[in-house]
Structure 1
């Protein structure tokens, strides 16, 4: 087993070894074949095949998820779809740029543009002007057939819930990277030990100012684990119960069985941000390997019908 192998692949290897299941890992772990007797199952990416095709497609399409949740009356952050103009006017429409500018006018606090399909916060860009919007759209359309635009909101907290059969297996908050001033070092110096944080997203003038002793500064507006945020398990209590109920409502709305659901608290109210059909727990697995293994074990029990 390679030390660089993803935790997802390691977890499947462990499960199969303990349950007499043959495993064939292909494409550097992105395709895994599992077979025992006459039963053959596959894992692809971070998806182990528990979800229906339509639930998988809805979850992987941010715009479709937003529309379905709205139809079901589940509170969520709206995501407006725009198709790549390279697809032609009959598909993308003629006035997509004007529609984007109208959204910007309606939300002077800014917008967030991102690929309609994608994870880990890649090419998620905050914009506050037409020039920034144009740059973001060009970047995303260069790599994607569609993008979504959501209003920028001040996220007070973000929570991820891993659901299996409407049971919250894992509930954790995403703690944004921050530093505490010592009255001596500048923000740039304090942030130097955090390589995942993109300092170019911070005000250049603030970077060279000494942070007062004891003052806490967040280094990014993002809550993505790949951007330096840390997963912090949430104990039983009101927050966990409230988030679990909302996540279950969201899962029911799109008919999904095994999913990773991100919730955000805005102005004191919880909303669904997005749903992922592929359940990735790489960052959490480094801190809580037993919990992650138990979660994948439970999901794989469902895949193989709990036949041991």
Structure 2
């Protein structure tokens, strides 16, 4: 097993070795073929292959996910979609920049501009002026067919809930560093949450969000703004690279439990989920 492989790939290799499943890793680890007898399954990127196509697409589209949550009355951060003008006037329409400026005017504290699809906080901009808006828009549109604009809010806490069939496998807070974002790639530190009111509230909201779009295995980010919890994003690809450095057994057990579902195993994974520490 190459030490440079992503945790996701290593976890699948370990699971397959323990369950007599053939595994073929291709494309630098981004495509994984698994076979046991007449069962053939695939993992792609960070998608383990458990979610339906529509749930996967909704989760990966920030604007669509926010709309779907709103339809079900699930509190969430709004994400206004704008398509890349390179797609043409018939697709994008007129007045898209004026609509952006109107959103900025309506939120004098600023807005956040980011790609409609994507993870890890890349190409995310906090914008307070028209000049900053134009810069952010150009940057995002240079690599994306769509962007979303959300009101900038002072996030008091951010928690990630990793769910498998409505059961919380891992719940942790993101302790922000010097950056204004809570992304782990931006230096935030994952800290497992102990049982209590905060954990209970975050899990309930995450379960409501998962049910709203029909997703089975996902990491759901919830944030506290002005004392109220809201869904920020739903991620169909469950990435646990940073968490694995601190809690490798918990990460392996979570991927193992999901793979049990993928292969239809009636018995639980050979790597049951260990109890999280009761501090932090």
Q: Which TM-score tier does this pair reach, normalised by the shorter chain?
A: over 0.9
What is the number of equivalent residue pairs in this alignment? 267
SS at match of 1:236: coil
Partner of residue 246, structure 2: 287
TM-score using structure 2 length: 0.95
Matches within 5 A, 1:1-308: 1-177=1-177, 219-306=178-265
d(CA) in 1 for partners of 2:140, 2:225: 26
Q: Distance in 1 between matches of 2:105 and 2:148?
A: 16
Runs of 5+ consecutive residues of structure 2 not aligned to the other structure: 268-280
Alpha-carbon separation, structure 2, partners of 1:26 and 1:244? 35
Q: Which runs of 4+ in 1 moved over 6 A?
A: none
2-side partners of 1:166 and 1:301: how far apart?
Answer: 15
Q: Secondary structure of 1:10's match?
A: helix
Three-state SS of the structure 1 residue aligned to 2:153 is: coil
Distance in 2 between the 1:307 and 1:286 partners?
A: 30
1:99-141 residue CA offsets vs partner (Å, 9 max, x unmatched): 0000000000000000000000000100000000000000000
Deviation (angstroms), 1:307: 5.8
Q: Give the equivalent residue in structure 2 for 1:197.
A: none
- 5+ unaligned residues in a row in structure 1: which ranges? 178-218
User: 1:176, 1:244 → 2: CA distance?
Assistant: 20
Q: Larger radius of gyration, structure 1 or 2?
A: 1
Query: Quick one: distance in 2 between partners of 1:145 and 1:10?
Result: 32
Q: Secondary structure at the match of 2:245?
A: helix
Give the TM-score, by structure 1 length: 0.86
Residue 155 of structure 2 aligns to a residue whose secondary structure is coil
Superposed CA RMSD in Å reads 0.7
